[in-house]
Amino acid sequence: MADMIEQIANLMRLTQNAVVVTGAGISTEAGIPDFRGDKGIYRQLGEDRVMRIINIDFFKAHPDQFYSFYRQYFKFPEVEPSPAHKILARLEEQGMIKGVVTQNIDNLHQQAGSRNVIAVHGNAEEFICMNSHCQKIYDHEYFADNTETVPHCSACGAVIKPNVVLFGENINNYIGARQLILDARLLIVIGSSLTVYPLAGFVNEFCTLAKDLVIINKGPTQLDYAARYKLDVSVGSTGEILEEIYRKLQR
Using CB under 6 A, which of the segments 89-97, 130-138, 174-182, 214-222 binds ligand NAD?
Answer: 214-222
Name the residue among 187, 177, 178, 202 with its Cα closest to residue 11.
Answer: 187
Among 9, 34, 96, 177, binds ligand NAD (CB under 6 A): 34
Under the binding rule (CB under 6 A), the answer on residue 81 touching ligand NAD is no
Is the CB of residue 9 less than 8 Å from the CB of residue 248?
A: yes
Beta pairing partners, 168: none
Name the residue among 191, 238, 240 with its Cα closest to residue 35.
Answer: 191
Among 193, 206, 230, 245, binds ligand NAD (CB under 6 A): 193
Under the binding rule (CB under 6 A), the answer on residue 219 touching ligand NAD is yes
Using CB under 6 A, which of the segments 65-73, 129-137, 150-158, 211-219 binds ligand NAD?
Answer: 211-219
Instruction: Please give the order of strands across the beta sheet that includes 97-102.
Output: 117-119, 97-102, 18-22, 186-190, 212-217, 229-232
Under the binding rule (CB under 6 A), the answer on residue 28 touching ligand NAD is yes
Over the Cα atoms of the chain, what is R_g?
19
Under the binding rule (CB under 6 A), the answer on residue 23 touching ligand NAD is yes
**Omega of the bond leading into 198 within 30 degrees of 0 (cis):** yes
For residue 27, which amino acid is it?
S
Under the binding rule (CB under 6 A), the answer on residue 103 touching ligand NAD is yes
How many Cβ atoms are within 10 Å of 74's Cβ, its own excluded?
16
Using CB under 6 A, which of the segments 11-19, 22-30, 132-140, 177-185 binds ligand NAD?
Answer: 22-30
Among 10, 144, 195, 201, binds ligand NAD (CB under 6 A): 195
Under the binding rule (CB under 6 A), the answer on residue 163 touching ligand NAD is no
Instruction: Give first-to-last CA distance, the chain, whole Å.
Output: 19
H or E segment to which residue 65 belongs: helix 63-73
Under the binding rule (CB under 6 A), the answer on residue 198 touching ligand NAD is no
Q: Is 121 among the catalytic positions? A: yes
Under the binding rule (CB under 6 A), the answer on residue 27 touching ligand NAD is yes
Helix axes 238-250, 2-15, angle to 10 degrees: 50
Which residues are known to be catalytic? Answer: 121
Contact residues for ligand NAD, defined by CB under 6 A: 23-25, 27-29, 32, 34-37, 40, 103-106, 121, 191-193, 195-196, 217-219, 233, 237-238
